[in-house]
Amino acid sequence: MVEMLTSREFLIAILAAISAAAVVFTFGSSMIVKQDMRVRIKRVAVERDRMRAEEMSRLRGGPAADGRSSIRRGTETKTYMKRAVDRFDLKKAFQDDSTVDKLAMAGYRGQGHLTTFLFQRFATPFVVFAIAAVYLVFLIPGDRPVFLNLVYAIGAGLIGSYFPVLMLKNATQKRQSSIRRSWSDCLDLLLLCVESGMSMEHALKRVGKEIGQQSAELAEELTLTTAELSFLEDRTRAYENLGRRTGLDNVKAVMTALIQADRYGTSVGQALRVMAEEGREARMMEAEKKAAALPPKLTVPLILFFLPVLFIVIMAPAILKVMSNGMMGGG
């Protein structure tokens, strides 16, 4: 037995068997890995097609696969609005290069919202003039002549022409405030998703679902970006559109960092980590700024409300005592 195990022919046979098994295992494992990679690529492609179909359905206004409502707001306009815009050529009169972007910042997208806004810019002065004229001429004419009341009504109509712009600006500020409050948390969630192995499409979709309870506006923008990443040929356009729709500098900075990371092949996680740290520092600085501005704001209420009460509480016993002593001495 010992002679057989130590013989030259037996050792050559054992080594040849081991070499053959290693060759078979090497080629077999490579084929298994390739097959597993094909399955994973196929799954990713199927998931991307499903996301694309889902987001396109929601963008068109249909119900999503998970039961969520469409992210597109009602864009149907009245027939008379469209006729007035086309007949009087209001686009040339009121629309400029930034009108569409301003509407997008307020959350109004599509041709319907643009037509409604242009019609409001056109019709609001006439409505305000009519109301002011009826009020000044018929309800409270006073001693003023009629032409003076009409002049006042015309002035009110001119001022009323800015009402749609003010309402749009107010809606934009509210939307930006909601996005700004939740953006730091959004960056932290994106960083966690990317470092866990998710792609940007899946990370944005996941964060959009999670951040919806905190900021529905930010969730809407992330969902739109996910849809654009699914069907746009250039990914940088999707990032640029997100920064343009929000109009916030911190969002634009993050989108610029993602574009550079995608273009030059740098780490997306590192870029998100740096931007998340800067976002937290900016939020802390904003909180410190508000805290530092609090004492000057409290000065006027303190002088008007707290100090008089404090003086009354301190001086009232002495005044009552002096009055009682005076009455007793006089008696």
147-196 pLDDT, tens digit per residue, is 888 898 999 999 988 999 999 999 999 999 999 888 988 999 999 999 88
pLDDT of residue 155: 92
Q: What is the 3-state secondary structure (H, E, C) of the chain?
A: CHHHHCCHHHHHHHHHHHHHHHHHHHHHHHHHHHHHHHHHHHHHHHHHHHHHHHHHHHHCCCCCCCCCCCCCCCCCCCHHHHHHHHHCCHHHHHCCCCHHHHHHHCCCCCHHHHHHHHHHHHHHHHHHHHHHHHHHHHHCCCCCCHHHHHHHHHHHHHHHCCHHHHHHHHHHHHHHHHHHHHHHHHHHHHHHHHHCCCCHHHHHHHHHHHHCCCCHHHHHHHHHHHHHHHHCCCHHHHHHHHHHHHCCHHHHHHHHHHHHHHHHCCCHHHHHHHHHHHHHHHHHHHHHHHHHCHHHHHHHHHHHHHHHHHHHHHHHHHHHHHHHHHHHHHC
Report pLDDT for 42.
60
For 180-203, b/e burial (b = at least 16 CB within 10 A) is bebbbbbbbbbbbbbeeebebbbb
Question: For tokens 């004229």, what's the residue?
Answer: 133
pLDDT at residue 282 in the model: 82
**Residue 87, Cβ density class (10 Å: 0-12 exposed, 13-18 middle, ≥19 buried):** exposed
Are 204 and 229 in contact, with CB atoms under 8 Å apart? yes
50-81 confidence digits (pLDDT tens): 655 665 565 555 544 444 444 444 445 578 88
* 188 vs 206: CA distance, rounded Å: 13
CA nearest neighbour of 59 among 225, 205, 234? 225
d(CA 87, CA 131): 25
Regarding pTM above 0.85, the answer is no
Query: What pLDDT does 331 receive?
Result: 53
Residue 127 has what pLDDT? 93
- What is the residue-level pLDDT of the chain in tens, covering all 331 positions? 666 666 777 777 777 788 777 777 776 665 554 555 455 556 545 655 665 566 556 555 554 444 444 444 444 557 888 888 888 888 888 888 888 889 989 888 878 888 899 999 999 999 999 999 888 888 877 777 888 888 989 999 999 889 999 999 999 999 999 998 889 889 999 999 998 888 888 899 899 888 888 888 898 889 888 888 887 778 888 899 999 999 998 899 999 999 998 888 888 888 888 888 888 888 888 888 888 888 888 888 888 888 888 888 888 888 888 888 776 655 5
Topology adopted by domain 179-284: Receptor-associated Protein (1.20.81)
Predicted pLDDT of residue 163: 92
Alpha-carbon gap, residue 255 to 236, rounded angstroms: 9
d(C-alpha 311, C-alpha 127), whole Å: 53
Rounded Cα distance, 88 and 124, in Å: 15
